[in-house]
A and B are shown apart, each in its own frame.
Chain A
Amino acid sequence: MTVALTQIAAEFARYANLTLGGGSATIAVLREQVLSKRKWITDVQFDLAYGLSRLTPGTNLLAFCTAVGFFTRKWLGAIVALLAASVPCSIIAVVATHYFEIWQTNALFRGALAGALAAAVAIMLNTAWVLALPHAKEARLRALLVVPGAIALVTFTHASSIQVLGVAAVLGFAWPARAEKTS
């Protein structure tokens, strides 16, 4: 299936720039679009793009979008996805920075922001659910060990995210997945 570059640009511009709640929340939304709905990539490609994006320095979301673009249309797709995912939100950030002092004193803006931030918590939890669910079905024991293990590691030892992911990667490499996916 050949995906038009304009389609790639439209999807990433819409979903990578209009989702609050951080990169993981946005990736969960993008997963629905590029995998479940449009089938531009496979489950294996999603896992590869997501897993490697967490191990790439910088902004994970942009690395993820670049990887999906690369799977879809090679280098051109990667560049288009990266531009579409980063330019609009950067323009919004510049405008917001310019007007921040004014907005900060606007009570209506702050009133609406209180609700949006509360919803962002829900978006984070939903993100964790969306990410873990397919693997929890396929590898229940691994999910039961790794998810709480990661929470405990970061909470009680104050390990950095990359340290936690590094431990998970080593553990996963030593503990091979049972069934090979072909879809």
Chain B
Amino acid sequence: MARARGEDVLKFLTLYFLLLKATATSFARLASVPVVRDELVVQRHMITDHQLNSALVITRATPGPVGVYVVSVGYFADGIQGAIAGWLAMTTPALLIILLLRFFAARATHPRVRGMLQSVVLASAGLVVASSIPLARDAITGPVTASIAVGALVLLLSKKLDTLWVLCLSASVSLVCALLGVREVVAAAGM
């Protein structure tokens, strides 16, 4: 029994460090995926390609950061214990920002640091636009989903509704369209 517990702990730590290796060396949304695949699918066979893809799809459909896919990966690899290892691997790198803050906070109003932060925020806005293009190709499949996207954008820009309500409203409109038999949504739903 003690040996089984020791193996559990070892598996937990192995999973944590493998996932941490992936999260701590990536700086963008799903940039850690190649490392996760190489370590857990190719080298150690802890999960399959299908499970990795499923984990990515799940995080597209659930709220929260995209990086939460490592929790799903951990769950596929080792149940609840694996999910906890995934959660730890996801949250550990976030604490590094405190070290950066301690260095930069006192210099935040310096024109060069301001210029640097301003440029990083503006470049981030550009990256968000760029990353919305493939998402749009995937999500906007016809006039109904295009109208939902435009309507949602108008509501968000006018700040009339909170994001959560915009999402609920969009999902409801889409669901009603599916129930009414609108071809575009029916096809997306596979009804």
**Contact residues of A with B, CB < 8 Å?**
16-26, 29, 44-45, 47-67, 70-71, 75, 78, 82, 86-90, 92-94, 96-98, 100, 107-108, 110-129, 131-132, 135-136, 138-139, 142-143, 146-151, 154-155, 160-162, 164-165, 167-169, 171-178, 180-182
Contact = CB atoms under 8 A, between A and B. Distances in A.
B171 A113 contact: yes
B66 interface: yes
A57 B121 contact: no
A175 to B, nearest CB: 5
Given A116-B174, A121-B140, A138-B118, 18 more contacts: A22-B29, A26-B64, A57-B93, A58-B26, A93-B68, A93-B83, A94-B75, A110-B188, A111-B186, A114-B185, A121-B149, A122-B153, A127-B125, A142-B118, A148-B126, A160-B28, A176-B111, A178-B111
A93 B59 contact: yes
B145 A66 contact: no
A83 to B, nearest CB: 8
A151 B124 CA distance: 9
B93 A58 contact: yes
Contacts of A173: 112-113, 115-116
Tell me which of B63, B112, B119, B125 has the highest count of chain A C-beta atoms within 10 A of its own C-beta. Answer: B119
Contact of B149 (A118, A136, A178): A118
Interface residues of B, number: 106
Interface of B: 23-29, 31, 54-55, 57-69, 71-72, 75-76, 80, 83, 86-87, 90-98, 100-101, 104-105, 108-109, 111-133, 135-136, 138-141, 145-146, 148-153, 156-157, 162-164, 166-167, 169-175, 177-179, 185-186, 188-191
